[in-house]
């Protein structure tokens, strides 16, 4: 399924031949959003997910209701936001334009995806249930290649997800993606394991100065006080994106997620870049760190070990 096809114009692709290969994609046979899995299989899936693999479901389709295909068009986007979003506590999408009936139909579509994704995660990982919170759901109906964005927002560069204004205080980011484009693949790159990435860049990161977390909260730069964990993760995100040699030379693999396929990743752990693709849906879950059974590879554990103190203390 993976191909070596690249875009000649992308700096990240230039010396891909020089980048050592990697295989982090773990195909799964399931066709149902509430699949029957044995406890042994569920445990194996969880291990792979927590190690930083991509659980890939080539045959797990999300079906449209009649008329919903029309939402696969960037004209529904308000032009300001990157995505059309549904918050977990809200009944209406944001970032979209259309009549009241269109917006209601779009919200129903996005909410249905949220419900299917939640069923999938709870079926595969029942132990996560008590520690998991449904966060945003997005419909991304615009081509990602060639978007004019700053390097920091450029998701065609390998990165781990981390948000400047939304400190997660160590909560993990578990995401369920679905390529809802009927024709074109969604092309991703995935990069080296988090531990290797951290070894390379953590020495260049800094802690916060006294009062910084408080001040950023006061000035509404952040929604809540940023922890050192968030501060370091954000620097790792930026350091990776800013370094074009790293982008080209890090061990990586390109993967084409075909139309109608689904995949699950910890996006705060797996280095990823979205190179091309026209339409996707995505569900985010926040997961308390204590839900993780294998702490060898989780970002918070890696950073705590490297820096010699717990990352989530302040
Ligand atoms: C990202 O999370 O970096 C983007 C994923 C995508 O849009 O395919
Ligand atoms: Fe990302």
In this prediction the pTM is 0.93
> Does the CB atom of residue 140 touch ligand 1 within 6 A?
yes
> Does the CB atom of residue 186 touch ligand 1 within 6 A?
yes
What percent of the chain is modeled with pLDDT above 70?
94
Average pLDDT, the chain: 92
Q: Are 239 and 202 in contact (CB under 8 A)?
A: no
Pairwise CA distance, residues 285 & 281, whole Å: 14
Which domains are present in the chain? 23-307 (2.60.120)
90: Cα within 13 Å, side-chain hemisphere: 13
pLDDT in tens, 38-79: 999 999 999 999 999 999 999 999 999 999 999 999 999 998
pLDDT of residue 6 exceeding 60 = no
What percent of the chain is modeled with pLDDT above 90?
86
Atom of ligand 1 nearest to the CA of 186: 8
Beta-sheet strand order (sheet of 272-276): 252-257, 186-191, 272-276
Name the pairing type of β-strands 25-27 and 54-57.
parallel
pLDDT in tens, 224-262: 999 999 999 999 999 999 999 999 999 999 999 999 999
Atom of ligand 1 nearest to the CA of 277: 8
Residue in 155, 162, 238 to alter for ligand 1 test, most ligand atoms within 8 A of Cβ: 155
Model confidence band, residue 313 (pLDDT cutoffs 50, 70, 90):
low
C-alpha gyration radius of the chain: 19
> Does the CB atom of residue 155 touch ligand 1 within 6 A?
yes
> Does the CB atom of residue 189 touch ligand 1 within 6 A?
no
Task: Copy the structure tokens of residue 274.
Answer: 């979205």
pLDDT on residue 147: 85
Q: Are 157 and 12 in contact (CB under 8 A)?
A: yes
pLDDT in tens, 12-26: 455 455 677 899 999
Q: How far is the CA of 272 from the centre of ligand 1 (A)?
A: 8
Model confidence band, residue 82 (pLDDT cutoffs 50, 70, 90):
confident
pLDDT in tens, 121-153: 999 999 999 999 999 999 999 999 988 889 999
Residue in 82, 282, 283 to alter for ligand 1 test, most ligand atoms within 8 A of Cβ: 282
Pairwise CA distance, residues 159 & 234, whole Å: 10
Pairwise CA distance, residues 284 & 127, whole Å: 17
């Amino acid at each position: 399924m993976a191909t070596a096809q690249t875009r000649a114009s992308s700096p990240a692709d230039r010396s891909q031949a020089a980048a050592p290969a990697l295989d982090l994609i773990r195909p799964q046979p399931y066709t149902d959003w509430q699949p029957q899995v044995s406890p042994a299989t569920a445990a194996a899936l969880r291990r792979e997910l927590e190690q930083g693999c991509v659980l890939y479901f080539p045959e797990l389709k999300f079906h449209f209701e009649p008329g919903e295909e029309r939402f696969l068009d960037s004209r529904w986007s308000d032009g300001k936001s990157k995505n059309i979003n549904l918050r977990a506590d809200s009944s209406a999408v944001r970032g979209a334009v259309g009549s009241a009936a269109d917006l209601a139909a779009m919200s129903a579509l996005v909410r249905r995806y949220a419900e299917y994704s939640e069923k999938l995660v709870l079926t595969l990982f029942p132990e996560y249930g008590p520690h998991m919170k449904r966060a945003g759901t997005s419909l991304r109906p615009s081509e990602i290649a060639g978007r004019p964005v700053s390097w920091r927002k450029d998701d065609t560069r390998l990165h781990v997800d981390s948000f400047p204004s939304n400190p997660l205080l160590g909560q993990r980011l578990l995401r369920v993606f679905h390529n809802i484009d009927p024709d074109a693949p969604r092309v991703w790159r995935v990069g080296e394991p988090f531990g290797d990435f951290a070894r390379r860049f953590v020495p260049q990161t800094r802690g916060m100065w006294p009062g910084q977390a408080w001040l950023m909260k006061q000035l509404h730069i952040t929604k809540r006080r940023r922890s050192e964990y968030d501060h370091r993760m954000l620097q790792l995100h930026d350091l990776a994106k800013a370094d074009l040699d790293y982008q080209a030379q890090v061990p990586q693999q390109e993967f084409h997620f075909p139309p109608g396929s689904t995949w699950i990743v910890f996006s705060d752990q797996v280095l990823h870049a979205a190179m091309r693709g026209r339409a996707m849906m995505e569900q985010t879950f926040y997961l308390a760190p204590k839900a993780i059974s294998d702490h060898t590879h989780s970002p918070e554990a890696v950073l705590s070990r490297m820096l010699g103190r717990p990352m989530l203390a302040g």
